[in-house]
Amino acid sequence: MAGAVMIDLGSFVRDVPDFPKKGIVFKDITPLLSSGAAFHEAVARLADRYRGRMDTILGIESRGFIVGAAVAYALGVGLTLVRKPGKLPAETHSAEYALEYGTDMLEIHRDAFERGRRVVVIDDLLATGGTATAAVELVTRLGGQVVECGFLVELSFLRGRARLAPTPVFSLIQYAAA
């Protein structure tokens, strides 16, 4: 991408007030995904960052599947899926994580990749870091090495990056305030 004019990817993220509940400003990436140029550039930036540094991409359900699959395809590597409970057909490992009100869980196939694999965790958005932390735990449990967690959008004011430490974090778009 050297010498190319870079698209302002943040201009393709739409604010949706009071979604999913009053007081929340939802960062909607669907305009970015629906723009061929913006989606292509986002995938290219992530692929350029990770080229030669990892063996597999791990996509977190569900928008992480979209971004992760595109990055894996661009790099010619495999895609590993982390899903909500009960969605994977073979034996799984699970990791629970805290939500604002309660807990949730993610699962990965026990044979998702071989020990020692270098893994990049991809999701659409980093907020508090709970989901990504659970994904990192699952990679580690399988004997993988998390190279980095990569996101399209980071809500840095929610300090998810700190929760993921010492795992390196990269995001294409950052929001410092709500």
Q: What is the pLDDT of residues 154-173, one digit of tens each?
A: 999 999 999 999 999 999 99
Instruction: State the Cα–Cα distance between residues 143 and 86, nearest whole angstrom.
Output: 23
DSSP β-ladder status, 145-155 and 25-28: unpaired
Q: Are 108 and 88 in contact (CB under 8 A)?
A: yes
Q: Which of 14, 51, 91, 100 is catalytic?
A: 100
Q: Is pLDDT of 178 > 90?
A: no
Per-residue model confidence as pLDDT tens digits over 116-141: 999 999 999 999 999 999 999 999 99
> What mean pLDDT is predicted for residues 106-114?
98
Per-residue model confidence as pLDDT tens digits over 5-44: 789 999 999 999 999 899 999 999 999 999 999 999 999 9
If DSSP codes are grouped into helix, strand and coil, which group holds residue 85? coil
Note if 63 is an active site residue.
Answer: yes
pLDDT at 177: 84
Q: Which of 49, 61, 63, 163 is catalytic?
A: 63
Exposure string over 154-166, b if 16+ CB within 10 A, otherwise e = bbbeeebbebbee
Query: For 54-175, CATH number?
Result: 3.40.50.2020
pTM to 2 decimal places: 0.94
State the DSSP H helix or E strand holding residue 17, giving kind and residue range, or none if neither.
strand 14-17
Note if 148 is an active site residue.
Answer: no
Amino acid at 64: G
Amino acid at 36: G
